[in-house]
Amino acid sequence: MKSYATPLVLAAVRSLGADVDTVVFEAPRNPEHGDLSTNVAMTLAKQLKKAPRQIAEDIVDALDMDSSIVTEVSIAGPGFINFKFSTGFYGKRLHEVLKIGDSFGRVESGTGKTVNVEYVSANPTGLLHLGHGRNAAVGDTVANILDWNGYDVTREYYFNNAGNQMTMLAKSIHARYMQMEQPDFPMPENGYMGPYIAEIAAEVRQKHGDGFKELSSEHLEVFRSEGEQWCTQRINITMESLGIHHDVLFNEDTLYTEGKIDSVIQRLRDAGYAYDKDGAVWLKLSELGLDDDRVIVKSTGEPTYRLPDIAYHITKLERGFDVVVDIFGPDHIATIPDVMAGCRALGFDDSRIRPLIYQIVALYENGQQVKMSKRTGKSYTLDDLIEELGADVVRFFFIMRGITTPLDFDLDLAREQSDKNPAFYLQYAHARICSVFAKAEVPDVSSVNCDVLQDEHEIALIQQLLRFPEIVERAGRTLEPVTIVEYLREAAASFHRFYHFCPILKAESEDLKQARLALCVMARIVIRNGLSILGISAPNKM
């Protein structure tokens, strides 16, 4: 619609002597306002020094449109110009979409560009929890959205199997190991308390015997590596069950072994943004647009988290990605400006970095928040959720809200195997279409006469489905999974309405039946593609 109307309106506007390069169209919310609407007349009021309605009239007069395509042009309200398209036009568009087939919705906004999406990135010190779930679902969906926008997408997992946390993991396992013989053996301070630690300890004992009581560095290494293996394996299984696969596993350790950390410090010094004070190395954030300088290397010689984070982002930029997307939880908010400033300090364009920060997840059951116990470490793990609800529902619930909205995960609603559960609404639309095709042949696309589709529900459905590529493109800009979710909800609603009012198999004529079947094919393409962007299955039966 837009591609047809844009050049014509543009020509008409220019013939009035106005200087414009784009005309904005939108689909009016109220169908009485036509199929397409533009506000050019209002935006030009100042430039042309005329009343918006007068300008609108002039534009309409200068407009040269094919009346078999646009049946009605009207002026309404403060100066909107509304267009009504012929039903035949929609039939043609339906034909075009059927020719495109399964790739309908793929757009070119990112063609030729590379993007790195980093998500999950949990360290191998425990099981994944709810926050990781949101991170995983959002990250994977964003990666899918970028893929559909034509980007060359690399999915990356950044993990750290070195440092204090791993030592703490080893000590915690050791303590549980000791407790199998001495129940009062103390846990290390700030140790990991989850029940999985005892599980690992039991495995170590079974595998290596009970001769690891002394906490020598050799023994510690055994506990550490057993713990890492156990956690890594479990994380992989969880990712697998959500259908998530990363292309690159980036180990923080390599930043040290390959000298990247030292090199970044040196480069920051050379650029005049790093200095020594009180035995530590500081980053001059105050000269990079932030308030206070921060330590990047402690007086003990160890780097703070900022330094490897900066070095890691530098490597991503140096690997040549046009866009670097980070999926972070709210606990990372404070560090992001530091990291971006660090990249700026070394001359990189930090607008290439696109941090996405999702808000916290809270679990609700029986109307009450389920609190995690600090003392026992007991809480709902992501595995528990997936096992109970299935991957589709879990993924859907994690992306059904905007990422800046704190997510209340309602367990009771998610458990509901009924119409209350919003995840099923979309899948049901797909299953319904499939059930039609269980009883009818897929029509021959080339010979179907789509012009017979005249009913308002048919036209509304085609209009809705035609918007899909535009939605994918918008999602590529917002990087908000909810953009796709909300659209699919509307598309599914349009389909359900069409299904309710327009009999397909028992249509009045064979022509109409074939045309409606063709419309079902189009609907199935859009819903299936949309669900695949969300990483949710499109069942044939429910």
Partner RNA sequence: GCGCCAGUAGCUCAGCUGGAUAGAGCAACUGACUUCUAAUCAGUAGGUCAUAGGUUCGACUCCUAUCUGGCGUACCA
Q: Which of residues 80-99 bind RNA (CB under 7 A)?
A: 80, 82
Q: Which of residues 388-417 bind RNA (CB under 7 A)?
A: 401-402, 404-408, 410, 417
Nearer to RNA, 381 or 427 (CB): 427
Locate tokens 């070195």: which residue?
A: 162
Nearest distance from C-beta of residue 229 to RNA, angstroms:
20
Nearer to RNA, 183 or 367 (CB): 367
Residue 159 DSSP label: E
How many residues does the structure list for the chain? 542
Determine which residue in the list 4, 185, 380, 428 makes contact with RNA, applying CB under 7 A: 428
Nearer to RNA, 171 or 219 (CB): 171
Nearer to RNA, 419 or 510 (CB): 419
Residue 76, interface with RNA (CB under 7 A)? yes
Nearer to RNA, 319 or 477 (CB): 477
In 3D space, the residue among 128, 367, 464 whose CA is nearest the CA of residue 139 turns out to be: 128
Residue 286, interface with RNA (CB under 7 A)? no
Give Cβ neighbours of residue 68 (< 8 Å, ≥ 6 apart): 86, 88
Determine which residue in the list 86, 167, 179, 335 makes contact with RNA, applying CB under 7 A: 335
Angle at 380 between CA 401 and CA 135, to 5 degrees: 40
In 3D space, the residue among 205, 216, 206 whose CA is nearest the CA of residue 178 turns out to be: 205
Nearest distance from C-beta of residue 179 to RNA, angstroms:
26
Number of residues that bind RNA (CB under 7 A): 94
Nearest distance from C-beta of residue 429 to RNA, angstroms:
8
Q: Which residues pair with 82 in a beta bridge?
A: 37, 74
Instruction: Name the segment binding RNA (CB under 7 A); options: 39-47, 84-92, 94-102, 258-266.
Output: 39-47
Residue 30 DSSP label: S
Residue 478, interface with RNA (CB under 7 A)? yes
Residue 483, interface with RNA (CB under 7 A)? yes
Residue 14, interface with RNA (CB under 7 A)? no
Determine which residue in the list 8, 60, 295, 411 makes contact with RNA, applying CB under 7 A: 295
CB 150 within 8 A of CB 110: yes
Nearest distance from C-beta of residue 385 to RNA, angstroms:
17
Nearest distance from C-beta of residue 36 to RNA, angstroms:
9
Q: Which residues pair with 438 in a beta bridge?
A: none
Instruction: State the CB neighbour count (10 A cutoff) for residue 514.
Output: 22
Four-residue CA torsion sign, 88, 93, 94, 98: positive
Give per-residue burial for 317-346: e unless 16+ CB within 10 Å, then b.
beeebebbbbbbeeeeeebbbbbbbbbbbb
Nearer to RNA, 205 or 528 (CB): 528
